[in-house]
């Protein structure tokens, strides 16, 4: 177990000193065996203490309303060695147990963010939050696990995986990986097997946009969908028509529109809807489940709704920026202000967010991510003269839990149990790690938050934990405050103080064939039976 750091926001207030300390910790202190790649694998619930956090922290959370996705009750929660041992009223404990009074507060599973990009090389630069600062920010905002996207190195999945395992050595909370597929050949196909069977990756992402870098065409998408199906891995898509986006960008530049507003104008909702519909139809053709990341428009959401009505297994993931913001800032005369809102697909015109919220509240969209992909204002300024060079991405890993509470629960659009479902449980179920994650049940990992519905929050770059010097939610305030975050049985966030240990986060392997694959073979058999082919024919006598 490495040494602990206790500080408010050390890298913000004392960034140089902090960076040096972190460098020292990461570079010179021997990481314990539990931090090796091998030991970072999936630990069985309740048993093997060598794969949990090593100290035997005992915590009793008393008198709160314990909320799971399907039930809530006033109860105590007893935690030992990183695992939830008991959930019931009136638990009595010895004096050596830390007691946290949660009376009048909600005790909920820590958030799981299904969509982040920490230390990602993208558009000629690297996202400013790494696995330390991004995760520290997450914990301060009540998120205790995230799933990041591995980007292959020169198309190699294995090299990409190694590189991300390396980046994640400084992790302070649990994490898993999706893998992007950016080219297709026999090596990629074989590596997909390795990722699923050896490395615990059960989802692959296909970028239908970013022409010239990450984008793939329909032929590769089809091959990828087939391969995903055979492996029991979930296919994910960034759904925008990349060819049309390139045309749209050219159109804007020809019109002399070079600023951040050109970004939104060049890739309208119709291009998101077209790609969403295409991916949906191709996955229907293959009969494999599909996960559409960052659904930003009514148009794309309606394609998902249509597919669901037709019985297709399509998951739609809105992100917090799409749920609470609109595109008006992109027209701000100040470049830094406008550029911080540049992401893809773009944040849409006023009106889209409210409809996406309704889709979330009715289950058309199922879980909320962030697409946390932060660049500071210096990086954003690379595109001062040409919006095509503004690195795409916004923050959200620290803000998601608060904003979803305020926007969805405080307004009465969803219940407290649904809040747990869309911020945590559904992600754990889809990626096949429930109930180890996403639940407050006996035997689950002790990833827990305590939210005070009477307290309030305020968001700002001046107080956030990201390394970024801007925040797209600057000045936003609301009701409901995460007062305590417990990660693997350790209190890491309490009374506005963050206490994290580099290297303490564990890699969570995610097994294939999650619930979305149940019955797929029956549908395949029904399809085969429906063909009534080949028809046996005899040649007509000459």
Alpha carbon dihedral 392, 394, 400, 404, in 10-degree steps, equals -80
Residues within the interface to ligand URP (CB under 6 A): 117, 238, 294, 343-344, 371, 373, 392-393
Residue 146 partner contact from ligand URP, Zn ion, none using kind-dependent CB cut-offs of 5 to 8 Å: none
d(CA 194, CA 345) in angstroms, rounded, equals 31
Stretch that binds Zn ion, among 24-32, 157-165, 272-280, 369-377 (CB under 5 A): 369-377
Cβ burial, residue 79 (10 Å; 0-12/13-18/19+):
buried
Nearest-Å Rg of the Cα atoms of the chain is 23
Per-residue CA distances from 112 to 76, 363, 440, 448 (Å):
22, 18, 13, 11
Per-residue CA distances from 204 to 115, 126, 225, 234 (Å):
12, 21, 9, 6
Residue 392 partner contact from Zn ion, ligand URP, none using kind-dependent CB cut-offs of 5 to 8 Å: ligand URP
Residue 407 partner contact from Zn ion, ligand URP, none using kind-dependent CB cut-offs of 5 to 8 Å: none
Alpha carbon dihedral 85, 415, 145, 9, in 10-degree steps, equals -100
Q: How many residues bind Zn ion (CB under 5 A)?
A: 2
Quote the least distance from Cβ 137 to Zn ion, whole Å: 16
- Please check whether residue 339 is in contact with residue 381, taking contact to mean a CB–CB distance below 8 angstroms: yes
Residue 393 partner contact from Zn ion, ligand URP, none using kind-dependent CB cut-offs of 5 to 8 Å: ligand URP
Q: Is 148 in the site for Zn ion (CB under 5 A)?
A: no
- Please check whether residue 115 is in contact with residue 138, taking contact to mean a CB–CB distance below 8 angstroms: no
Handedness of CA 149, 319, 516, 242 (dihedral sign): negative
d(CA 484, CA 189) in angstroms, rounded, equals 43
- C-beta closer to ligand URP: residue 344 or 487: 344
Quote the least distance from Cβ 391 to ligand URP, whole Å: 8
Quote the least distance from Cβ 148 to ligand URP, whole Å: 11
Residue 180 partner contact from Zn ion, ligand URP, none using kind-dependent CB cut-offs of 5 to 8 Å: none
Quote the least distance from Cβ 378 to Zn ion, whole Å: 21
Quote the least distance from Cβ 379 to ligand URP, whole Å: 12
Stretch that binds Zn ion, among 45-53, 99-107, 301-309, 370-378 (CB under 5 A): 370-378
Site for Zn ion in 222-241 (CB under 5 A): 238
* Residue burial 422-459, b: 16+ Cβ < 10 Å; e: rest: bbbbbbbbbbbbbbbbbbbbbebbbbbbbbbbeeebeb
Quote the least distance from Cβ 203 to Zn ion, whole Å: 13
d(CA 98, CA 269) in angstroms, rounded, equals 51
In sequence order, the 6+-apart residues with CB closer than 8 A to the CB of 337 are 329
Quote the least distance from Cβ 210 to ligand URP, whole Å: 7
Stretch that binds Zn ion, among 158-166, 189-197, 368-376, 507-515 (CB under 5 A): 368-376
d(CA 301, CA 323) in angstroms, rounded, equals 12
Site for Zn ion in 238-257 (CB under 5 A): 238
Stretch that binds Zn ion, among 297-305, 363-371, 473-481, 503-511 (CB under 5 A): 363-371
Residue with smallest beta-carbon separation from ligand URP: 392
Quote the least distance from Cβ 113 to Zn ion, whole Å: 11
Residue 343 partner contact from Zn ion, ligand URP, none using kind-dependent CB cut-offs of 5 to 8 Å: ligand URP
Residue with smallest beta-carbon separation from Zn ion: 238
- C-beta closer to Zn ion: residue 294 or 437: 294
| Other CB atoms within 10 A of residue 273 CB | 21
* Residue 377: closest CA among 466, 281, 295, 288: 466
In the numeric block, which tokens belong to residue 330? 């992109």
- C-beta closer to ligand URP: residue 109 or 269: 269
Quote the least distance from Cβ 408 to ligand URP, whole Å: 22
Per-residue CA distances from 223 to 73, 82, 189, 283, 294 (Å):
47, 41, 9, 11, 23
Quote the least distance from Cβ 371 to ligand URP, whole Å: 5
DSSP-derived 3-state class of residue 180:
strand
Residue 481 partner contact from ligand URP, Zn ion, none using kind-dependent CB cut-offs of 5 to 8 Å: none
Q: Is 371 in the site for Zn ion (CB under 5 A)?
A: yes
Residue 263 partner contact from Zn ion, ligand URP, none using kind-dependent CB cut-offs of 5 to 8 Å: none
Quote the least distance from Cβ 214 to ligand URP, whole Å: 8
> Containing H/E element for 171?
none
- C-beta closer to ligand URP: residue 87 or 292: 292
- C-beta closer to ligand URP: residue 293 or 448: 293
Q: Which residues bind Zn ion (CB under 5 A)?
A: 238, 371
């Amino acid at each position: 177990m490495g040494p602990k750091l206790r500080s408010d926001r050390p890298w913000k207030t004392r960034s140089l000193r902090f960076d040096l300390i972190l460098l020292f910790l990461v570079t010179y202190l021997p990481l314990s065996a539990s931090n090796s790649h091998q030991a970072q694998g999936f630990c069985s619930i309740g048993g093997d203490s060598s794969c949990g956090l090593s100290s035997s922290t005992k915590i009793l959370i008393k008198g709160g309303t314990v909320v799971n996705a399907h039930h809530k009750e006033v109860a105590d929660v007893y935690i030992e060695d990183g695992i939830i041992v008991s959930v019931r009223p009136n638990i009595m404990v010895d004096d050596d147990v830390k007691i946290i009074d949660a009376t009048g507060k909600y005790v909920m599973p820590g958030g799981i963010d299904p969509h982040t990009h920490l230390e990602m090389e993208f558009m000629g630069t690297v996202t400013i939050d790494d696995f330390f600062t991004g995760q520290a920010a997450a914990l301060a905002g009540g998120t205790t696990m995230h799933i990041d996207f591995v980007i292959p190195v020169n198309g190699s999945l294995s090299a990409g995986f190694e590189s991300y395992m390396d980046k994640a050595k400084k992790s302070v909370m649990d994490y898993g990986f999706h893998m992007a597929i950016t080219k297709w050949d026999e090596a990629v196909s074989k590596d997909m097997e390795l990722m699923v069977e050896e490395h615990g990756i059960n989802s692959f992402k296909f970028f239908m946009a970013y022409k010239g870098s990450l984008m793939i065409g329909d032929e590769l998408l089809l091959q990828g969908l087939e391969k995903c199906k055979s492996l029991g891995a979930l296919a994910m898509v960034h759904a925008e028509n990349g060819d049309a986006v390139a045309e749209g960008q050219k159109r804007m530049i020809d019109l002399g529109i070079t600023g951040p507003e050109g970004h939104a104008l060049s890739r309208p909702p119709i291009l998101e809807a077209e790609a969403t519909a295409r991916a949906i139809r191709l996955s229907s053709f293959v009969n494999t489940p599909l996960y559409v990341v960052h659904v930003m428009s009514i148009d794309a959401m309606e394609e998902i709704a249509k597919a669901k009505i037709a019985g297709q297994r399509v998951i739609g993931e809105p992100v917090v920026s799409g749920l609470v913001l609109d595109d008006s800032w992109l027209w701000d005369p100040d470049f830094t202000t406008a550029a911080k809102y540049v992401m893809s697909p773009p944040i849409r015109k006023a009106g889209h967010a409210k409809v996406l919220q309704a889709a979330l509240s009715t289950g058309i969209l199922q879980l909320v991510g962030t697409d946390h992909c932060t660049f500071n204002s210096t990086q954003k300024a690379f595109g001062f003269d040409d919006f095509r060079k503004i690195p795409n991405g916004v923050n959200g890993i620290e803000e998601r839990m608060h904003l979803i509470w305020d926007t969805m629960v405080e307004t009465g659009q969803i219940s407290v149990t649904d809040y747990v479902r869309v911020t945590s449980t559904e992600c754990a179920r889809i990626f096949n790690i429930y109930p180890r994650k996403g639940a407050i049940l006996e035997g689950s990992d002790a990833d827990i938050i305590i939210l005070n519905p009477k307290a309030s929050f305020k968001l700002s770059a001046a107080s956030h934990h990201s390394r970024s010097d801007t925040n797209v939610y600057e000045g936003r305030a609301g009701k409901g405050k995460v007062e305590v975050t417990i990660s693997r049985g350790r209190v890491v966030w309490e009374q506005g103080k963050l206490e994290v240990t580099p290297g303490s986060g564990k890699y969570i392997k995610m097994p294939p064939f999650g619930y979305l694959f149940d019955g797929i073979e029956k549908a395949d058999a029904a399809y085969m039976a429906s063909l009534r082919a080949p028809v046996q024919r005899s040649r007509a006598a000459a």
